[in-house]
Amino acid sequence: MPAPLFPLLLRMLSARLLLPAARLARQYLVPLLRRLARRLGSQDLREALLGCLLFVLSQRHPPDAAEASPVDRRERRESPGVCWGLRKTFGESGVYPEPVDEACCRCLSLSLSLSENRLLGTAQAPPLPSLGIRYKAVWLIFFMLGLGTLLPWNFFMTATQYFTNRLDTSQNVSSDTAELNKDTQASAAPAAASPERNSLSAIFNNVMTLCAMLPLLLFTCLNSFLHQRIPQSVRILGSLVAILLVFLITAILVKVPMDPLPFFIITMVKIMLINSFGAILQGSLFGLAGLLPASYTAPIMSGQGLAGFFASVAMICAIASGSELSESAFGYFITACGVIILTISCYLGLPRLDFYRYYQQLKLEGPGEQETKLDLISKGEEPRADKEEPGVSAPNSQPTAKSHSVRAILKNISVLAFSVCFIFTVTIGLFPAVTAEVQSSIAGSSSWRDYFIPVSCFLTFNIFDWLGRSLTAVCMWPGKDSRWLPSLVLARLVFVPLLLLCNVKPRRYLTVVFEHDAWFIFFMAAFAFSNGYLASLCMCFGPKKVKPAEAETAGAIMAFFLSLGLALGAVFSFLFRAIV
C-alpha cells in the first residue's frame, strides 16, 4: 500500500469513528468519571480497589517461595522504606513489592500513586524536593521540645544566687517593713541577721532540689499509667502553657518586694508546679519519641542538655552586664518565657509534617487490623503468617492487649530502667547541692570569684552533659544488650568521693584532697559527660527493646524511672552534704 494512503485512511477513520466516540464520551462518560472521582476521594475505597487489582495480578504471577520466606517478610516489614500505603494494602505480614524510598511516605495520598507506579513499572517516585527539610524539621522540633522540658528547672537552679540574695533581709523587705526598720534601726540591727533567715538561705539548694524532684516523680508515675486516657496534645500543650504562666509570674515577682519567708514559700511552690508539669511533658514526650526511630530520642536528650547550657550562659551574661540584680533577673526570666513560647509554636507545627503523621498512623494500625486486611486481599498468606509467628492462630486483639501489660514491658526494659535511675540518683545527689558549694582556691579577690560557680559548676556541667547526649546521635556504644552499659553506669559511683573531697565550704568532717580549681573542673567535665551519654543511651534503647505497639508505654516507664532517680538523688543530696 502506498505511503500517502495512510494519512487518508486515518482521516476517514477519525471522521467516521473517533469523532462520534469523542462526542459521546464528552456527553456521557466525562460526567460519570467526575462523579466516580468524587467517590474515589475516600482513601479506603481507593486502596480497596487497588488491593483487588493487585490481588488479581498476584494470582496470575505468584511470588517466589524464597521471596515469600518469613525472614524476607520480616525484613521488609521492619524496613522503614516500605510505604505506608503498601503496608496498609498488603498487611503487616504480606509480601510487598520492591520497597520504595522513605520519601514515598510523605502523605497518605501518595500511597496510591506510588503503588500504581510499581504496577506500571515506573522506577522513580514523584519528586519531593522539600522532604529532607521536613525530616530535619521533625528533628529540630523534638530538639526544641527537649529544650523546653528542662529549661524551667535549669533556669531556677542556675539562678540560685538571685534567690539566696532575695532571702537576705536587706534585699528583700517590703516597703512597710523598710519604714519600720528605719524608725527602729538601733534596736532592730541585731535582729537583721536572724538565724531563721540565714537558715533559709543555707538550705535553699537542698530544699529546692527536693521540692523539684518529688513532684516530678509523682506526676511522672501518674503519667505512666494514665497517658492513654488523656489526649497527647492536651498533656504536652497544657504543660507548656502552665510552665509559661509560672515563668511570667516569676518575672513579675522580681519587681515585687517581699519578706524572706513568704518569698521562700512562693518560690518553692513555683518550683513544684514547673516540675509537676515538666514531668507530664517529659513522660509524654519520651512516649511520643518511642513511636519514631531510635534516632529521634537523641534530639530530646540533646535539647535537654542545651537547656542547662542556655540557662548558664544567660546567667553569666546577667552577671557580666553589671546591672542591678533585679533588672538582670527580670530579663533572665523573660528570656525563658520567650523560649517557651517558641517551643509551643514548634509543637503546634509538628502535626502538619508528613513524616510525623506517617509514624502516628503506624501506631494506629494495629497488627490485627493489618492481618485482617491481608486476609481480605489474599487468603493464601494466612498459613505463612502462622509460621512466622507461632502460637498466634487467628488475628485478634487479645495478643495486642496482652502485650501492653506494664509488668511485661518493665521486665523487658528492667536493666535500662534501673540504669537510668541510678545515673540520675548519683547526678542529683551531688549536683547542685554539693558542687554549688565548692569555692575557688586561686581566685582571691579577683572577678573569677564571682564567675567560678557559674562557669566551673553550671556551665561546665551543662556543656559536657550536652556533648554526651549529642554523641548518641552518631555513636551508640555499648549496645542495648551489652553488659558494658550497666557496668559503666555503676562505675559513676566513683564521682561521689571525688567531688566530696574537693574544696567544699563549709565542711566539718572530711578533709580537702583536691583543692585546686583544675581538679574540680576536670571532675565536673567527666561527671557531666558520663551522665549525658549513658542516660541518653538508656533512654534511646528502652523503647526499642519492646514491640512497636508498646513503644509509647516503654518510653513513659523509662521517664518514670528517670524521675525516680531524680527524686532519690534529691534525698541523697542531704546525706552527701551532711557528711562533708
Query: Terminal CA-to-CA distance of the chain, rounded, Å?
Result: 110
**Domains 133-172+200-363 and 405-579 in one fold:** yes
Which pLDDT score, from 0 to 100, does residue 494 have? 96
Alpha-carbon distance of 380 to 434, in angstroms, equals 67
CB neighbour class for 7 (10 Å; exposed up to 12, middle 13-18, buried from 19):
exposed
Residue 335 above 70 pLDDT? yes
Q: Could you tell me the CA-to-CA distances from 212 to 209, 314, 338, 561 in Å, in that order? A: 5, 21, 22, 15
As given in the structure block, the three cell numbers for residue 29 are 462518560
Alpha-carbon distance of 49 to 47, in angstroms, equals 5
- Range of 78-82, 372-376, 491-495, 539-543 with top mean pLDDT: 491-495
More confident call, 94 vs 198:
198
Nearest in space to 172 (alpha carbons), one of 152, 195, 200: 200
Q: Is pTM, for the whole model, over 0.75? A: no
Beta carbons within 8 Å of 412's beta carbon, 6+ residues apart: 545, 546, 554
Alpha-carbon distance of 484 to 296, in angstroms, equals 23
Using DSSP, state whether 474 is helix, strand or coil: coil
Beta carbons within 8 Å of 205's beta carbon, 6+ residues apart: 160, 432, 433, 436, 437
Give 206-239 pLDDT, tens digit per residue. 888 889 888 878 887 777 666 667 888 888 999 9
| Structure confidence at residue 430 as a pLDDT band (50, 70, 90) | very high
Residue 62 above 50 pLDDT? no
Using DSSP, state whether 504 is helix, strand or coil: strand
Least confident of 2-16, 143-157, 160-174: 2-16
List the chain domain ranges: 133-172+200-363, 405-579
Give 493-506 pLDDT, tens digit per residue. 999 999 999 999 88
CB neighbour class for 520 (10 Å; exposed up to 12, middle 13-18, buried from 19):
buried
| Yes or no: domain 405-579 corresponds to CATH 1.20.1250 | yes
Nearest in space to 220 (alpha carbons), one of 168, 278, 269: 278
Residue 287 above 60 pLDDT? yes
- Range of 181-185, 198-202, 310-314, 482-486 with top mean pLDDT: 482-486
Q: Is the peptide bond before 478 cis (omega within 30 degrees of 0)?
A: yes
Report angle CA 492, 289, 539 to the nearest 5 degrees.
Answer: 15
Handedness of CA 156, 160, 166, 169 (dihedral sign): positive
Q: Which helix (H) or strand (E) holds 262?
A: helix 260-289
| Structure confidence at residue 60 as a pLDDT band (50, 70, 90) | very low
- The topology under which CATH files domain 133-172+200-363 is Growth Hormone; Chain: A; (1.20.1250)
The residue with cell 561546665 is 460
Using DSSP, state whether 213 is helix, strand or coil: helix
Cite the beta strand spans of 61-106 per DSSP E: none
Which pLDDT score, from 0 to 100, does residue 180 have? 39
Find the mean pLDDT for residues 148-159. Answer: 85
As given in the structure block, the three cell numbers for residue 216 are 516530678
Nearest in space to 147 (alpha carbons), one of 32, 310, 293: 310
Number of other CB atoms surrounding residue 349 within 10 Å: 13
Number of other CB atoms surrounding residue 34 within 10 Å: 10
Q: Could you tell me the CA-to-CA distances from 173 to 165, 170, 187, 251, 269 in Å, in that order? A: 12, 7, 17, 18, 20
Residue 151 above 50 pLDDT? yes
